[in-house]
Structure 1
């Protein structure tokens, strides 16, 4: 099973072997007239992508947006009821995307620019392609916590001086946090989260809620959260510092898959192709996120992924352990 370390290796490669590309049928997609997109993409970015697609092709996008774990639950419930509504699925759970692809729930599709996606961020058979790369960092209110006092490692978050000052997301809602909690618990043991609980860390649903808490100053340390929110908040003038933990940072792809048996299969393929096209991939750095393609720059003021110390992610382990991780987390923080 590939680890996220493969992403860093692939990012240094600018010329890759040519791959036969699948073509979306634009005329058939326009005839269908709409595409239904289930996504955990940050809401404002998702709306911009949908608008760009509608303006380009005249095809309506119906977007259902929620946390990655919530998106997957809805998709699986509908699939089990044999009621397929989504044409395209974008989450932040490569382990789940791999498993669902192996179960035959997706249409293999390798659109234009497939060769520009890092090996660790796509399925070689085309069952998913990364829409973007998610950088999970610590970020703090720099006006309330001087740089010298800010936590610089994951273990530093256990220091009692941060008691009552931290906030983090819930792995039952966001699949990004499921990856972080699953791997941290595997590496450090559940005692790590027991100590975080004793440090009065606040649990909220998703990364937007973390951002809101930090901006309002109700909490001043985001203890492992999506950095694109911090970048966007900085752009809006909020005093926020991003910290890439010196003991390693998680970089997690957001897989996009074309759903098998969907109502608008051609529009789904066209939207998947559009997702890794120039217009969308250039949008991510402008929004403070990392694009999936290796030929795109990092967000302004942020380091290239190849310059960040990465923590490997064992997706095979997460495929098996995911439900137990959610259950144990809820037991610890209930």
Structure 2
């Protein structure tokens, strides 16, 4: 498996090299013949994947796919906003560089489907769709590949409280010591809307009264908390917190039974340069083995019985991105960020 190119370097390289990415000589897609699809994918030899998953999951999935089929996976990883903007620019120019894209933005996918940037997925070319729950394939175009419920992280060495519920986060002892993700990030705002709808406006106002530390991202923010700059951070993901715990950081993550989360979606690019490899990779992502690698103890799967996958909390609620947009001003006013 090739190492990933840095995002900026990859952009420059693709602008310089003629014919990088989408091609007028796109191969025919093999339909209704899985062995034939595998052979065609192996002839293509590689595929390019854009992803905003944690890098450890990307590496695991790419390694598993290469071991299974001998097809090289090249990937570019970035945050959702940058990745979505990059791909949209390429697609609008008629020169997409990715064969498969996954991104945690419902709004992006709704726009992308309308633009015709992604191919329809059928079980004639994506073998695992035969066992995939229909409700988690959207517009016959993109699928939900994992769900990461949001929770509460705290520093076990410094925090005077160990909140187990969202209401316990509003403890006066956390005045000036609560870290919160900025509402500019849709996933954070979705969680705040969930809390507003579930507990009422007062809970967000109580958070605001604690003079929270507001950060653009809780990825570096959680590292700041490890360094003692905060006691509690919300809303937190296992994919962010667990690697630090594994390294010995004094952290704990609690995922309450009532919560929202981050949904990861994936699809095959309509003008993929490696269309057979892209569909084989998509089939792998939706298979039991692929789901084991793409959840790996830090996310849930919509398939039942995936080894090591998280169980979704009983009160898990999906918050549509359109609802977040409709309520953004109210959320900002209550939090007073």
Normalised to the residue count of structure 1, the TM-score between the two structures is: 0.75
Shift of 1:85: 1.3
Instruction: Find 2:48's aligned residue among 30, 36, 45.
Output: 36
Rounded Cα–Cα distance in structure 2 between residues aligned with 1:106 and 1:181:
31
User: Is residue 68 of structure 1 aligned with residue 74 of structure 2?
Assistant: no
Change (3 A) 1:72 1:31: same
Higher alpha-carbon Rg: 2
Q: How many Å separate the matches in 2 of 1:99 and 1:290? A: 26
2:64 to 44, 47, 52: 52
Give SS of 1:218's match. coil
Q: Distance in 1 between matches of 2:71 and 2:205?
A: 49
Query: Contact 1:36/1:87 (CA < 8 Å) preserved in 2?
Result: yes
* 3-state DSSP of counterpart to 1:63: strand
Cα separation, 1, equivalents of 2:40 and 2:238: 38
- For residues 276 and 137 of structure 1, do their structure 2 counterparts lie closer, same or farther at Cα, with a shift above 3 Å needed? same
Contact kept, 8 Å, 2:285 with 2:294, in 1: the verdict is no
Question: What SS is found at the alignment partner of 1:290?
Answer: coil
Deviations for 1:43-93, whole angstroms, at most 9, x for unmatched residues?
A: 122122222223333333221111222221222222223331111111112
Aligned counterpart in structure 2 of residue 295 of structure 1, from 291, 305, 325: 305
Q: Quote the Cα distance in structure 2 between the aligned partners of 1:178 and 1:77.
A: 26
The answer for unaligned runs of 5 or more in structure 2 is: 1-30
Length-normalised TM-score, structure 2: 0.74
**Counterpart secondary structure, 1:313:** coil
In structure 2, the partner of 1:7 is none
Take 1:77 and 1:327, find their aligned partners in 2: how far apart are those partners? 32
Do the aligned partners of residues 328 and 137 (structure 1) sit closer, same or farther apart at CA in structure 2, a change above 3 Å counting? closer
> Would you say how many aligned residue pairs link Structure 1 and Structure 2?
303
The one of 99, 122, 127 aligned to 2:137: 122
Consecutive unaligned residues in structure 1, runs of 5 or more: 1-19
Report how far residue 106 of structure 1 moved: 1.1
Out of 195, 199, 203, the residue aligned to residue 210 of structure 2 is 199
Offset at 1:170? 4.2
User: Does the 8 A contact of 1:34 with 1:62 survive in 2?
Assistant: yes
Q: Which moved more, 1:274-283 or 1:113-122?
A: 113-122
Does residue 311 of structure 1 match 2:321?
no
Contact kept? 1:29, 1:264, Cα under 8 Å:
yes
Select 1:273's aligned residue among 283, 293, 314.
283
Q: Is 1:216 aligned to residue 231 of structure 2?
A: no
Does structure 1 retain, via aligned residues, the 8 Å contact 2:106–2:320? no
C-alpha distance in structure 1 between counterparts of 2:261 and 2:33, whole Å: 28
CA RMSD in angstroms, aligned pairs only: 3.5
Are 1:164 and 2:176 an aligned pair? yes
Note the C-alpha offset of 1:297: 4.3
Correspondence list, 1:112-261, <5 A: 112-114=127-129, 116-123=131-138, 125-145=139-159, 149-170=161-182, 172=184, 175-181=186-192, 183-184=194-195, 196=207, 199-245=210-256, 248-261=258-271
